[in-house]
């Protein structure tokens, strides 16, 4: 099966609202619900799993109840990777294909979802990214530039990120043995702990933004 995993466990501390940003309303429904709808519409997605905060599990069950593909709503943990681990406990078939998506990217398109699913036929790990439009530099401890990186080879990562379940599980099993384990996303776990597994990049979309600050909500409103 192709299973979409929506990570909706963030606190939204940088956003500054009184509720996590995935539960804020945009155009008549929550940010989370917009993300659910994107995967519900895709004919390629068989099932949706939502990982959220323990204190919002009941609310997420209520929000997601109209959507037939939502089969599980489970609590995550303190860090983002705890939410992925929670999803791996729900999705137990090693041959399943998983699309791990930030629930606060509500503008993910059917085209991006399809590109991920199609790439998973050939690759065990897939990322979504767009070319970097800014010049990226590396600085030293004093804040001075020490290197200007070649922009043509740089990408800004997005989600969903796709994996064969067995590969992601093995990468996390190895990572959890590392005392310094502190991943920022799931592709980085595969890259570090299963270096022989290529992570293929498919084309993302500039519209597929992650809601981080209040001004991002206005972008969502204008784009719908």
Give pLDDT, residue 198.
Answer: 97
Report the SS3 class of residue 187: helix
What is the pTM assigned to this prediction? Answer: 0.93
- CATH for 2-223 is 3.90.550.10
| pLDDT tens string 136-149 | 999 999 999 999 99
How far, in Å, CA of 16 to CA of 178, rounded?
Answer: 33
One digit per residue, pLDDT tens: the chain, 224 residues? 999 999 998 766 666 567 889 999 988 899 999 999 999 999 999 999 999 999 999 999 999 999 999 999 999 988 899 999 999 999 999 999 999 999 999 999 999 999 999 999 999 999 999 999 999 999 999 999 999 999 989 999 999 999 999 999 999 999 999 999 999 999 999 999 999 999 999 999 999 999 988 888 887 777 76
Q: What are phi and psi of 171, to 5 degrees?
A: -60, -45
Beta strands in the chain (DSSP E): 2-8, 25-26, 29-30, 47-52, 70-75, 97-102, 125-131, 137-139, 145-148, 155-164, 200-203
Q: Decide: residue 224, CB within 10 A, 0-12 exposed, 13-18 middle, 19+ buried.
A: exposed
Read off φ and ψ for residue 191, nearest 5 degrees.
Answer: -60, -40
């Amino acid at each position: 099966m192709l299973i979409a995993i929506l990570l909706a466990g963030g606190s939204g501390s940088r956003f500054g609202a009184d509720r996590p940003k995935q539960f804020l309303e945009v155009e008549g429904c929550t940010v989370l619900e917009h993300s659910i709808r994107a995967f519900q519409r895709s004919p390629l997605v068989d099932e949706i799993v939502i990982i959220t905060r323990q204190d919002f599990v009941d609310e997420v069950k209520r929000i997601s109840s109209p959507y037939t593909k939502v089969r599980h709503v489970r609590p995550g943990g303190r860090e983002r990777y705890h939410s992925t681990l929670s999803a791996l406990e729900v999705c137990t078939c090693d041959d399943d294909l998983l699309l791990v998506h930030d629930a606060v990217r509500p503008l993910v398109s059917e085209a991006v979802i399809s590109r991920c699913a199609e790439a998973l036929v050939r690759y065990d790990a897939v990322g979504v990214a767009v070319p970097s439009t800014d010049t990226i530099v590396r600085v030293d401890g004093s804040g001075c530039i020490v290197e200007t990186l070649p922009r043509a080879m740089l990408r800004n990562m997005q989600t969903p990120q796709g994996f064969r379940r067995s590969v992601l599980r093995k990468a996390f099993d190895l990572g959890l043995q590392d005392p310094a384990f502190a991943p920022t996303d799931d592709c980085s776990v595969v890259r570090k702990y299963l270096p022989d597994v290529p992570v293929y990049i498919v084309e993302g979309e500039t519209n597929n933004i992650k809601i981080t600050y209040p001004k991002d909500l206005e972008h969502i409103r204008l784009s719908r």
